[in-house]
Amino acid sequence: MLKSRFTRIGFILAASGSAVGLGNIWKFPYITGENGGGAFVLVYLLSVFFIGMSVFIAESLIGKKANSDSVTAFETLSLKNGHRWKFTGLSFITSLLILSYYPIVLGWVIHYIYLSLTTLPSTVQEAEGVFLTLLKKDYTSQVLYFTVAMIVVGYTIAQGVKSGIEKFNKFLMPSLILLLIGMLVYSFSLDGFSQAFTFLFLPNFEKFSGESVIIALGHAFLTLSIGMAIILTYSSSLKEDSNIFQSSVIVVIMDTLIALVAGLIVFSILFTSGAQPSQGPGLVFITLPAIFYEFGSFGNVIAILFFVSLLFAGLTSSISVLEPTVKFLEHRWKVTRAKASYYTVFAMYLFGMLSLFSNITEFNEMLIFWDKKFFDWLDFITSSIMLPLGGLGVAIFVGYIMDKDVIKAELLPHMGVKLYNLWMFTLRYVVPVSILAVMFYEVG
């Protein structure tokens, strides 16, 4: 059951595929636009490379040393109270809940690929009407897209680590990178490119605030897929001689570069059309389609490339959120991989229908609780509470509970004493304070 292993490049692509998702191409540009550009990017980069990477390395370490599912990993690596620490491994429930609604958003992306192939909305007002019609009325299309996305996820995971996850990411991740490079090269020719570059990389603190710092920290955790047992589970399939520090650095750099490239592409298009960067969550599904229309027939080509890139990024992340649960069912309950994959997908498919129909006007009154739709509750609980708690658990476990000799033997040869000490200090003191700050902000 544990014989299937990632190759080094397979792990990097799979972990990068998990980290690179809708958050990089959809969320990063609009939160950057809302928080003033370069100053926000600077704090985001510091958050990713000092705080996010620290947790990423720690989670990779747990997975590699335990060589097991997430629950067993915390149970066996704990020097004391393993029967209690094993509950920290239940953070895979976060990824499971995300699986129930994340592919719904992928369904929206599929719909926009279809629109790009046919007729794009010609104005922002028309684009808003198109999106709201899909979101609130067209449940037939949404159910179809959601079903297709879940079948792809279930089938890929059922094939195993090498034949499924690694093979899938070896195709999608290079394809995604090539698509983004192609659009970036096209962006060079746009009038708004220099303005976009300045906006992203020249710090301007006019729209920056203390709230922006918290948003940057929170996005750093979200975009690296830490705190929900994904990186831990992927790392458990690494070879014994793998260098997790080097692999972690590569994954974090790749994830960050893709976010920055996506930002350059989006803002180049926005500034060329004369639009403002602070467009909010509707940037991708409302503002951009109308701008693509203004570019004529070539706008359809750019739209197709953009939404296919978004789909590829979302699919690689969707694949990753299923793996921790499947590994747990395989190892702890002795369920075959195929059964674990398909049963879990089917259960989350049914559960996900509650999220999907909570957006539909005809049904949403039955699925609103305390002024939040079921979809919004799942998003809030997973991203604002469960993800930070998962990251906090990893930081405290490696920083205070796990055998320090084991940690040093794994990391010191690759990091050196000074970098190791900085990492451990960050993990023990900076990460917990940062996570608690994000949680208090989000919940408050």
Give domain status of residue 250, yes or no.
yes
Helix axes 387-396, 53-66, angle to 10 degrees: 70
The size of the chain, in residues, is 444
pTM for this one? 0.92
Give domain status of residue 92, yes or no.
yes
Give domain status of residue 79, yes or no.
yes
Contact 402, 394 (CB under 8 A): no
Contact 320, 225 (CB under 8 A): yes
DSSP letters, 179-226, are: HHHHHHHHHHTSTTHHHHHHHHHS---SS--HHHHHHHHHHHHHHTT-
C-alpha span between 39 and 208 (Å, rounded): 7
pLDDT of residue 4: 67
Tally the C-alpha atoms within 13 A of residue 179's C-alpha that lie toward its C-beta: 21
pLDDT reading at 344 higher than 70: yes
pLDDT of residue 423: 97
Instruction: Give 391-409 pLDDT, tens digit per residue.
Output: 999 999 999 999 999 999 9
Give domain status of residue 1, yes or no.
no
Instruction: Give 295-328 pLDDT, tens digit per residue.
Output: 888 899 999 999 999 999 999 898 999 999 999 9
Domain extent for 246:
8-443
Give domain status of residue 86, yes or no.
yes
Instruction: Give 101-131 pLDDT, tens digit per residue.
Output: 999 999 999 999 999 999 899 998 999 999 9
H or E element at residue 373? strand 372-373
| CATH number for the domain that contains residue 354 | 1.10.4160.10
Residue 179 vs residues 103, 238, 261: alpha-carbon distances, Å: 21, 29, 11
Instruction: Give 73-101 pLDDT, tens digit per residue.
Output: 999 999 888 789 999 999 999 999 999 99
Query: Is residue 168 very low, low, confident or very high in pLDDT (cuts 50, 70, 90)?
Result: confident
pLDDT of residue 109: 93
SS3 assignment, position 441:
helix
Give domain status of residue 282, yes or no.
yes
Give domain status of residue 3, yes or no.
no
Q: 45-49, 161-165, 338-342, 379-383: which has the minimum mean pLDDT?
A: 161-165
pLDDT reading at 191 higher than 90: yes
pLDDT of residue 2: 43
Going through 60-202 in order, the beta strands assigned E by DSSP cover none
pLDDT reading at 443 higher than 90: no
Q: How much of the chain, in percent, has pLDDT values that exceed 70? A: 99
H or E element at residue 369? strand 368-369
In the chain, how many domains are there?
1
Give domain status of residue 74, yes or no.
yes
- Mean pLDDT, the chain, rounded, equals 91
